Structures are given as C-alpha cells and as structure tokens.
Amino acid sequence: MWGGATAANQYEGGYDEGGRGLSTQDVRTAGSRTRKRTVTYLDGEGNLKEATRFEPMGPGAKGIIVPGRYYPGHQAVDFYHHYKEDIALFAEMGFRCFRMSVSWTRLFPKGTETEVNEDGIRFYTAVFEELKKYNIEPLVTLNHFDLPLYLANERNGWCDRETADLFTRFAETCFVRFRGLVRYWITFNEINCMLDWNKLGIRTDDPQEFHQALYHVFLASAQSVICGHRIDSGNMIGMMAAYGAMYPLDCDPDTYFNHLQCMHNMQWYCDVQCRGAYPAYKQKELERNGIVIRKQEGDEKILKDGTVDFIGFSYYFSVVSRAGVNVSMTGDQSHAVDNPYLKKNEWGWQIDPVGLRSVLNELYDRYQLPLWIVENGYGSIDTPEYDSEGNITAIHDPYRIAYLKAHIAEMKKAVELDGVDLIGYTPWGCIDLISAGTGEMKKRYGFIYVDMDDEGKGSLKRYRKDSFAWYQKVIASNGEEL
Ligand code: BG6
C-alpha cells in the first residue's frame, strides 16, 4: 500500500476549535537546528520556566501557554480546514493509504471525560469519509506523542496506571465510532522514544518511575489491541518503533557486545509488543538496577493477548556504535559516531538506503510479522521559484527524489530477493508539516509544498513539488518506474 504519513500535532492545527482540549504538544515552542524546542511550564513554586525534551522538569511542573509566544503546533499547516483539498492532492498522487493520527484531546479534551466530544467525532468522520471517496485506506495512529495536558498537569501522566485505562477508553471509542471507516491502526508512535517527547507526561528522570510509566504504555497498547480485535476482528493493529540500522564501529569484541546491547535497547520494545512479554535480557537489566515494576494480577495475560498484527517502523538513518557509548534512534544525532561510507543531510542524519534492506530483513527474521514502513523521508530546505509577481511557479527537489528512489530500490530487493512481507510504505510528511524535533517549517519532507515559514507566516497555499509527479509515477507502476 503506497501512501504518505502525518501526525495531528504537526499537521492538523485547529488546537482550540471544535471543543478540543490542550495537549502536552501545545506547550512546545519553536526551535531550530541549533536551538532546541522547549516546553513552557510553571514549576512547583509557580515560576515560569522552559525545558528541552532532554531536561527534567521536576515535580509539580505544569505546562502552560505563554501569551505572545509562538507554538507551531497550534496552527500547524491547518489540515483542520484544508483536509478536502489535501486529500484530493493525495488522491491525485494515487495514494492507496494515508497515515494520520487522531488527537486524543479532540475526542476527550481532558482525557478523563466519560462522554466523547461529538465535534471531534464529526471532524474525523468527515476526514475518513473523504478518504473513502477516493478509495484511500486510513492508517490511524492512536497516539503520536500527545497526552491531554490535564492528565500531565493535574494527574501524574503516564506514571499513573489510570492513564492506561483512560487511553484504552479513547481507543475503544475510536474503534467503535470509526468502525467500517478505518481498518488499519497503530497504537503508539515510536514507542521507543515517545516518553522522551513527553517529558511533561512523566516529569521525572527517576529510572524506576520511567519504567513504571513505560509499563503503563505497554499495558495501554495491549489493552487497546485486545479491545480493537473484540470490536472488529477485521481490524489490523500494529506497533510502531523508530528503527534504524546499527553498525558496530569495528571488530573489537567489546564494541560488538555493546552493539548487541544497543540493538536490545531498540528491540525490546518490539519484543514486548510482538511476543507479549518482557524479554529475559530486559528483566535482568531491571533487576540489576533495582527496578521493580508494580503489576496487577492478570497483567501478564493482557500483554500476551494484546500482541500486534504487524510492525510499523520509521526509518530515516543509520548509526554506528562503539564500546562504552549508548547510541539510539532519537532525532538528535549530535553525539553520533560518523560513518565514513555515508553522507549526511543538513540535520546530521546519515543517509543509508542499504540499511533499510538490512532492517527489513532483521525485523522479519526476528518476528515473522508483516512489516510496514510508516515513515521514511528526506527533511530538507526547499527553494521555490517565483514569477515576477511573487507567485510560486515550481519547487525542484531532486535530492528528495534521489533519497526516496534509493530507499524504494532497496525495499524492492527486500521483498523480491529476500522474501520480506512488506505491506505498506507511507513516507513521512507527504505534505510539508512542522518538524517534531526542531519545530521548524523549513525542514520539509513533502511532495506538496506548504507556503508557511518558521514563524507560522504564509498563505498556507499548497503547491506540487517535482517529487509529486515522480511519486505519482512510482505508485502507478507499483514501484517499477523509479
Ligand atoms: C519521527 C516522528 O521521529 O520522525 C515524526 O514520528 C517526526 O513525528 C519524524 O516528524 C521526523 O523528525 P523531524 O524532527 O525531522 O520532524
């Protein structure tokens, strides 16, 4: 299934319309390549503070919107008011599927309500019906880095087990109300990084609490899978991890063993969701660190019964590990070891199409589940051409075409030569949207250009880039014509 991918907090906008409540993503400011995005919050004593996603906020922190500050997610690129136009453009490209996320607070503004916000249901129903008009299958991510701000500020975010149950209620509502319109689902986006993006949702750097919170996320996912299958046995519900290729720097046995551990740090999230239990190596690590997860009777069965139907993953770059250094798949690659065989994009991400074939093999060998590349793409600065009146006439993006072409070619090899069961490909940011890492607009991935700058200024008009016609051909030929 060829298509493209987006997420509500970076694409949808309309943050205070239709009865929507605030989410943890609504208090994230804009950043840049050199200046990290921050969360604005009041500390326990009521002082206004800011923290990057890598800094702890301490107990009592409450995310707030500071008047006059720019928060790029508020408007994003306004899918909320442009969905018909955008979907028509996706259809023109020949999309068979479209990945988007449902904003939790559009359905449950605080997260605790027992009644759903019907305006939110109306909005997403209209979107799904519009997709159906063009025979485009939605692939719906239930959680893409957002959490109701109320649950973060007034409760204890993911540290509270209740959050898992509230999430399951939200998921159940989606399965019931969108039944017949949506068949493909993902529970959590990039489950292996999501709590990093959600510091407000855990507000502690204590490893015990971090692992407790993560355990609640796994429970929420498994409970939702069970519920989604019960409501409609035709539902295909997947997991999603940030998964790149990892290479050991050299053949030093210590480097290799460290490499295995770095791989485990990425794989254990898949192990839990695909095999239904914490793997032995993780249990031992938790024991060694004195971490004891609080569980309830019946939890083991929930994890076992709530395993997923497919593995979705994002693939952008590869990393190199060496003894003593813990590398991971977070977007911030400032501490990464350079791979002399690869080139980087402007944000330091190492471009590695062959790595995608390796990863497809790795995941399929390990789990024998269908795979879906739900994100892949080239974030870059695009330079439009203008006519004498200042209208955009063309956007040439050969670098994007080259990146995607090389990755699709490796994907084909994985399917045709290696026998990998790959069911879908939805490149990231098929239409330009806000960067999750930097909050910028200029880090663009789209086939469709959106006229908006890093401060949110612009006409929001949509334009076809050169890659638009190229991808249209790729889809029409089922990947034969690259
Ligand atoms: C993934 C996320 O981490 O990478 C997306 O699921 C994100 O939300 C994408 O946008 C690309 O990262 P960035 O920082 O370039 O937007």
> pLDDT by residue (tens digit) across 254-265?
999 999 999 999
How far apart (Å, rounded) are the C-alpha atoms in residues 462 and 452?
A: 10
Concerning whether 375 is annotated as a catalytic residue, the answer is yes
Angle between helices 118-133 and 79-93 (to 10 degrees): 20
Number of H helices, E strands in the chain: 15, 19
Whether 139 contacts 186, CB under 8 Å: yes
- CATH fold of the domain at 3-16+72-476: TIM Barrel (3.20.20)
Provide mean pLDDT across the span 99-123. Answer: 98
> Residue 71 above 80 pLDDT?
yes
- Provide the whole-model pTM: 0.97
> Residue 33 above 90 pLDDT?
no
How far apart (Å, rounded) are the C-alpha atoms in residues 25 and 11?
A: 12
How far apart (Å, rounded) are the C-alpha atoms in residues 454 and 154?
A: 32
Q: Each residue of 179-220: pLDDT tens digit?
A: 999 999 999 999 999 887 777 777 677 899 999 999 999 999
Of ligand 1's atoms, which has the minimum distance to the CA of residue 240?
6
Integer CA distances (angstroms), 445 to 382, 401, 465, in order = 9, 11, 11
Q: Binning pLDDT at 50, 70 and 90, where does residue 436 land?
A: very high
| Complete DSSP assignment for 137-196 | EEEEEEESS--BHHHHHTS-GGGSHHHHHHHHHHHHHHHHHTTTT--EEEEETTTTTTTT
Q: Is 375 in the pocket of ligand 1 (CB under 6 A)?
A: yes
39-48, 52-61, 340-349, 426-435: segment of lowest average pLDDT: 52-61
Name the residue of 428, 432, 438, 441 whose CB sits within 8 Å of the most ligand 1 atoms, as the mutation to test its pocket. 428
> Residue 335 above 70 pLDDT?
no
Nearest Cα residue to 213 out of 229, 198, 233, 227? 198
How far apart (Å, rounded) are the C-alpha atoms in residues 350 and 339?
A: 8
Provide mean pLDDT across the span 243-258. Answer: 93
Per-residue pLDDT at 205: 75
Name the residue of 197, 198, 319, 435 whose CB sits within 8 Å of the most ligand 1 atoms, as the mutation to test its pocket. 435
Distance 436 CA to ligand 1 centre (A): 5
One-letter amino acid at 201 equals: G
How far apart (Å, rounded) are the C-alpha atoms in residues 221 and 238?
A: 10
Catalytic residue among 12, 137, 375, 440: 375
Residue with the nearest Cα to atom 5 of ligand 1?
Answer: 436
83-87, 317-321, 367-371, 405-409: segment of lowest average pLDDT: 317-321
Strand partners of residue 237: 185
Q: Binning pLDDT at 50, 70 and 90, where does residue 331 land?
A: low
108-117, 202-211, 331-340: segment of lowest average pLDDT: 331-340
Which helix (H) or strand (E) segment is 476 a member of?
Answer: helix 466-476
Provide mean pLDDT across the span 408-422. Answer: 98
Distance 375 CA to ligand 1 centre (A): 8
Name the residue of 196, 375, 454 whose CB sits within 8 Å of the most ligand 1 atoms, as the mutation to test its pocket. 375
Domain ranges of the chain: 3-16+72-476
Whether 377 contacts 3, CB under 8 Å: no
